[in-house]
Amino acid sequence: MKHYDLFVIGAGSGGVRAARMAAATGAKVAVAEDRYMGGTCVNVGCVPKKLYVYASEYRHQIQDAAGFGWQVQAPTHDWSALVEAKKQEIARLNGIYNRMLDGAEVTVYNARASILSANQVQVGDEVISADKILVATGGWPFMPEIPGIEHTVSSNEIFDLEVFPQRILIVGGGYVAVEFAGIFNGLGARTTLSYRGDRFLKNFDEEIVEALAHEMTQSGIEIALNDYPTAFEKQADGSIRVDFKHASSAEYDAVLMATGRVPNVNGLGLDALGVEMGRNNAIKVNSGYQTNVPSIFALGDVVEDSWQLTPVATSEAMVFVRRWFGSESDAQMDYRDIPTAIFSQPNIGTVGLIEREAREQGIEIDVYVSNFKAMRHTLSGRDERTLMKLLVRRSDQRVIGCQMLGPDAGEIVQGLAVAIKAGATKDDFDATVGIHPTAAEEFVTMRSVTR
């Protein structure tokens, strides 16, 4: 029987990082992956999504160019060319991941793995033993039980539709739904976003989300709140008839169910082993990513209350290795002030607390808000506005929250996240010289408290 110091199930961002770093300490490591080398992010998540966002933004940029004197004919888009270019890029990244693991002398099993006992896994027809088993299988799209759901697609399949949909319904209120609404609207589809609640992106700042909803509507996206589909029916012409709880039925060429993600744990054998599970079968772990079965660990999206962000999973993997294969037996992940972005159109960037959270925690804050039309749009003619917010704790003037809605918000907030993580005060922001003319300089020139 083959034996490893660490056996990782799942070759996504967290699993690959854990395997490589553990192997670098001299440990004998293996990884099993039966689907995507590189996981969700590389194959059906962050990477292809961002490429499609870029593609969809060109339509707006071409339209903007007329205001700067460019004479541009009405653009047309080749969906199949974008899909093929995306496939080539992902194949390149898959190869990079394989080479990284090979270079780290990590054994790769391209097969499904399941856990037989506390120290044994089955990979295909082979049984393998390991001192430690790490589950890093990530999340999987949740598809609700609605009649005709088989006629819809999830975020796994949406990138590879054979025909570009002229009419698309996107069901959901999270970042996946919002981002794909922008993508398909930008590429020219008549786009409807349907959400059962009264506000999408409910975990983000209300003021920012309200402004985004306005911009999305201005760009042509129909937003239908407080409603949800009750049935899907394929029509003779290939379209999909959708019945709603409240609104009238309508037909679409494609329906994307962006209704959340759940831990990908089916078939792993965790129940039989007695591994403690939480909501939606997420795995419960301690601060060292150890389950109640001491030899079994888990990190990333498969863990209860996870952040579901690629950089968080890779950071957790580093903590895991430092703690269990290094000399830092008390290493822990710091989950405070984690920045993130939504690649909506326009983008959202955020780090630290949002206004509602600060007030719920009883923190006395000063809120600084800047709302303006970006310099580009003084000539483009596009009626799009940028919104920026800073939350300052009144007791010590420390900046505890920062949000932005506007172009390149993720790029800008990433830099500010360093300052906020380091404990910068409003005086530090005020003393920083801005780069002019940029949108980002607004963050260091806001002087008057808004509320």
- Backbone φ and ψ for 14, nearest 5 degrees, come out as -70, -45
Would you call 436 a catalytic residue per the annotation?
Answer: yes
Q: In whole angstroms, what is the distance from residue 112 CA to residue 124 CA?
A: 6
Cβ contacts of 69 within 8 Å, gap of 6 or more: none
Q: How many CB atoms lie within 10 A of CB 149?
A: 16
Q: In whole angstroms, what is the distance from residue 347 CA to residue 210 CA?
A: 13
H runs (alpha helix) in 190-259 = 206-218
Sign for the pseudo-dihedral over CA of 307, 311, 313, 316: negative
- Backbone φ and ψ for 330, nearest 5 degrees, come out as -115, 15
> Which residue in 151, 214, 377, 436 is the catalytic one?
436
Cβ contacts of 61 within 8 Å, gap of 6 or more: none
Greatest pairwise CA separation for the chain in angstroms: 71
* Burial label, 59 (beta-carbon count in 10 A; 0-12, 13-18, 19+): middle
Say which amino acid occupies 34.
D
Q: What is the DSSP letter of 318?
A: H
Beta bridge partners of 117: 120
Beta bridge partners of 373: 385
- Kindly state the tokens that stand for 238: 């290939």
- Kindly state the tokens that stand for 211: 């402004």
Can you spell out the DSSP letters for 387-405? Answer: EEEEEEETTT-BEEEEEEE
Task: Kindly list the strands in the beta sheet with 240-244, ordered across the sheet, starting from the edge strand earlier in the chain.
Answer: 229-234, 240-244, 250-252
Active site residues: 436
